[in-house]
Each structure stands twice: as structure tokens, then as C-alpha cells.
A and B are shown apart, each in its own frame.
Chain A
Amino acid sequence: MEWLFLVVSFVAVLAAGMMLTRQNAVHSALFLIVNFGCVAFLYLMLDAPFLAMVQVTVYTGAIMVLFLFVIMLLGAEATTDTSGRMRWLGFAGTAVAIILLLIFAFPLASDMLTDEIVEPPETSARLRVINAIPGGDSESVTIMDMGRSITLEGIVTGSVLFDGTDDALDDLRIDDVVYDYGRDATQHYTVLPAGEYNVIAGVELAGFATSPLLIEAVTLTADSAHSVVFYENVEGIVDVVLMEDDVSAPAVGKMRLTVFNAVTDKQVSLIDIGQYTTRGSLCEDDSCSSLIPHRVLIEELPAGQQTSLELEEGSYNLAFVDQDQAVLRTLADYGAERGIIETRVFVREPGVPGSEPSYRAAVFNAIAIPAFGSPEAVGQVLFIEYVLPVMLVGMLLLVALIGVIVLARPDALAQAERRRINRRRRVNRPLVSVISQQTGSDVLSGDYMAKLTGGSDDSADD
């Protein structure tokens, strides 16, 4: 990697030097294209693929073609750099450049940059709540933050994470009921400042909040995403778990499927059964000596845990089976779309006690965080945070376009010349009448007038 950088930067500097020293302007332009290409390569090495492509199309493409076009249009290949008067500027420029280089290089050489490096500013972390308690229509879950432990004389400040609105960090009191998450409810991630949190989660039953079920000190790092999943364990007691979601962009052409097992007495496997239609069991016969052909995607996921896998784009017949090869739930014609991140929480359906339990795989979608420097990432910042500058730049381009059209009118110069001459004529005409008034003779008629106007035409030239 280092040798690559050295080679590319060497070529870039070499091309820049050649551009400066060539006498032929076309050669200079071609060397500048080489330099721009090297810079585009460096953008790629700096995790900026989008800018690299823009660099190639805009700079080495459009701008340099414009330069070459103008050079060849004017026939200005051979430059006239031989004005001896300004030769000293070259030496002065070199001297200034070397001095500036020394000044700039000084902090780098003395490790000033590396010593005073500060941590990057913390950006946003995301948190969401998934309520997978079966039959819990009357139950709602609450989640709050006991404060980021800002210890000023032992006082812990608190703020509520979820208040049901988008401004999650309102100044609510810590014992406020924060939000009712009904059954299977989820909400999109709430964006929080990154940092240390003490997440407290509890269940509210008919208006009475139970004691907190989960108190967990967690560091929400920037660009991470967490889910708080509420589910019922095998004794019918609500349990809660905080898990980190992988929201990085899936591999190209794939989707990421995360499965959380909220059925506490089962170890769930996710299998791909291909063309087989589903039946109650994976067994080919009653004795279960052989299984139908299948591909195991997730093997025996214990309760309260999650795992994720990446699926190729396409259509699948998926089935959730327990450890006894009994099919609990099938997902026929499951369409895997590229770029999607999906969370499936496997839950037991609330049913009549004593009847055969049924199961469901509730869907919770997540949005992928685009990779750094990708067109998505740049576009999101460009068109959300910087909409106004984008519009201003658009206006600037429009003004530049109009300006170029005005400048490039073929008769612009001729018109300017004509206007100049007309202005002088208008100034000259009153002069004749002034002379006629002063001399008292009728200069505006006869030969005198012809002489005067001829004379004024001559005088207009100086």
C-alpha cells in the first residue's frame, strides 16, 4: 500500500513539474490530465470512490477538454514566455515556494499534528425498542436513561430516551411514563448523541410500572445501532435484552437477515427448504430416519439471542424448525432484496391456553448506514444538510452559463466598438452649434459646415 502511494504521488508531482516547464501548452494540458488522474487514484485510496469518479468526469474530462479546445482554437500552443522584464518573478516565486514549504512542513516535522490530535466529534448513535411480548396488548414497555453520569457533586442528571416523539431528549422528568409500546410495536431508531448511557427498561402493567428489568451501562458509539427487545421467557416472565444491530451496508447484491429468538423453550433453526412445500416436520417418514433435503442457514439459536446472515438476492422458501425437526413456521416465497436489512423476531402467537401454539416471525426493518464516501453517504449529506449551498451553487452555475453566453457572442466586440464611436459623435455635434453661437456666423449651412464636420471626424481619431 505504501509503495502504491509513493509511486502515485511521485507521478503526480512529476506531471505537475512537467506541466509547469513545457513550452507547448498542449503538452502542459496533457500532463495536467495525468496529474488529475493521479489525484483521482489518491481519492480512491482515501475511501472516496464517489469523488474519484467525479474527479475523472469533471476535471480530467470536462474541464481539461475545455482547456485543450481553447488552446487549439486560439492556436496558442507555442507560448510566449520570453518577456525578459519579468524574469525575476520566477526566481522570487521559487524562493517564496521554498520558504512556504519550510513553514508548512515545520509542524509536520515536529509532530505538532500528531501530538495535538483530538478525538473526532461524537456523532449519532441509534436505539430502538422491539416489543415481542406475546399477547401483551395491555402491557406496554418503557425505557429510559438514568443519565449520562455527569457527576457534579454526586448529582446524576437524567433524561428520557423515548417520549414518543422525535425530539427524544426533551426535559421530561425521570419518572415520567415515556412511551407505550404496544404489542409488536417498534419504532424507527431514535437518534441520540453518542456516549455512555445507563439504559433502564421496564414493563408497565395496567398503569403500574414494574421494577426495572434491565439496567445496563452501555456505550453507544457513533453510527452504531442498538435494539432493546422485550420478550417472554418460558415461565411467562417478561425478559429484556439489549443487543447491537449490524446496520452496515450488506455486501453487494445481498440482504442481511437478523433473527432473534424470543421463544424461550425452543432452539430455533432457520433452514432453506428449496422447492419442498412445507409440512409439519422435516422428516421424510414417520420414523424420522431421513430428512428432506435442506440447507441450514441458522443452526439452533437459543432463546434471547440473535444472529445474522447475508442472503443472495432471490426468492426462498424458508422454514423455522425446532430442535426436534418440527416445522414451526414457514416463510414461502420469501423475497430477498438487495441492500435490505431485516430483523425477524421469532415469537409465539398468543393463543387459547392449552391449544397448539403457533408461531410468527415478526418483521422489523432497519435502514442501512451507507459506507463512508459512497455516493449514498455524500448524497445524504449533500441534499439534507447542505440543500441551501447546493441551490446557491446551482444559481452560480446558471449565472456562469449566462455570462459565458454573453461573453462569447461573436459580435460582442464589434458592438462595443460601434457604441464607442456613436458616443463620440453625439459629443461632437453640440460642439458645432457652440462654435456657431460663439462666432455668430451660420456655420451649420454651406461649405463651412462641410469643413467643420470633416474636421471633427479627423479629431475623433486622437
Chain B
Amino acid sequence: MNPIGTEPYIVLSMVLFLMGALGVLMRRNAILLFMSVELMLNSANLALVAFAREWGQVNGHVFVFFVMTVAAAEVAIGLALIVNIFRERQSINIDELRQMQG
């Protein structure tokens, strides 16, 4: 029924992961940084689901479920931090947040 093998999904997940990594490196906006991290998590999830189908086991799906939960918690905390930083500094450009730089 499903003639597409696992490899194309892995390649797609790879491409999406690298685009997310690129976003983390290139963008200076903290919110966009977060969105790039979400993109990376999502691509990892895609690989997990593809491998779950390859092996015919549901454990991969369960891990994706956990990743989603952790991502939700991470986004909530991260955005709260960003809001606080913006209140104090009036900016979310991560290059300007240098007070912890040695």
C-alpha cells in the first residue's frame, strides 16, 4: 500500500534538521531561534516515525509523543524567559544579550 521506503523520509528529515540548525546559527532573533529549534525537533520526530514503521514497532511513536511533550514545556518556559528579557532590555536580539559573556 505504501511503496515509499524509509530512506526518502530520512533524507527529508535530514534536510529539515539542517535547515533548523542553519536557522539557529544565522538568525539573531530569539523567537526565530526557538522556531528553528522546533523545526529540528520535528525533523527528529519524522525520522523516529519513519523508523517505527520500518521496524513495525510502536515504541518510536511513544518517543515522538514524549518529544512533543518536552517541546511544549520547553516552548512555554523559553517564551516566558523571552518576554522577561524583552521587558528588561527592550530587545530580543541575542547578540545584545552579552552580560553573561566572560
Residues of A within 8 A of B (CB): 1-2, 5, 9, 12-13, 16-17, 19-20, 25, 28-29, 32, 35-36, 39, 42-43, 45-48, 50-51, 54-55, 58-59, 62-63, 66-67, 70-71, 73-74, 76, 79-81, 83, 85-86, 89-90, 92-94, 96-97, 100-101, 104-105, 108, 113-114, 120-121, 123, 222, 372-373, 377-378, 380-382, 385-386, 389, 393, 396-397, 399-401, 403-404, 407-408, 412-413
Contact = CB atoms under 8 A, between A and B. Distances in A.
Contacts of B91: 80
Contacts of A9: 8, 12
A9 B50 CA distance: 14
Given A39-B42, A413-B88, A1 B2 contact: yes
Given A396-B69, A400-B76, A413-B88, A50 B61 contact: yes
B70 to A, nearest CB: 7
A101 B18 contact: yes
A378 B65 contact: yes
Contacts of A19: 23, 35-36, 39
A455 B55 CA distance: 75
B34 to A, nearest CB: 7
A4 to B, nearest CB: 9
Interface in B58-87: 58-59, 61-62, 64-66, 68-77, 79-84, 86-87
Interface size class of B (residues with CB under 8 A): 35 or more
B39 A70 contact: no
Contact of A25 (B29, B49, B64): B29
A48 B53 contact: yes
Nearest to B64: A51
Nearest to B11: A108
B100 interface: no
A144 B59 CA distance: 32
Of all A-B residue pairs in the complex, the 9 with the closest CB atoms, nearest first, are A93-B25, A400-B73, A407-B80, A79-B29, A90-B26, A97-B18, A16-B19, A83-B95, A404-B80
B51 to A, nearest CB: 10
Given A89-B26, A101-B15, A378-B61, A45 B81 contact: no
28 contacts: A1-B4, A2-B3, A16-B16, A19-B39, A20-B19, A32-B35, A46-B9, A48-B61, A54-B65, A58-B68, A58-B72, A59-B71, A66-B76, A74-B92, A76-B31, A83-B28, A93-B24, A96-B21, A97-B19, A101-B14, A105-B14, A120-B55, A120-B56, A373-B52, A397-B73, A399-B73, A403-B77, A403-B80
Contacts of B15: 13, 101
Contacts of A81: 27-29, 93
A83 B95 CA distance: 8
Contacts, number: 227
B38 A63 contact: yes
Interface of B: 2-4, 6-12, 14-16, 18-29, 31-32, 34-36, 38-39, 42, 45-46, 49-50, 52-59, 61-62, 64-66, 68-77, 79-84, 86-88, 91-93, 95-96
A75 B6 CA distance: 42
A17 B19 contact: yes
Contacts of A401: 76
Contacts of B76: 66, 400-401, 404
Contacts of B92: 74, 76
B30 to A, nearest CB: 9
Contacts of B36: 19-20
A79 B77 contact: no
B53 A46 contact: yes
A95 B11 CA distance: 18
Contacts of B6: 113
A5 B8 contact: yes
A393 B32 CA distance: 26
Contact of B72 (A28, A42, A46, A397): A397
Contacts of A93: 21-22, 24-26
Nearest to A407: B80
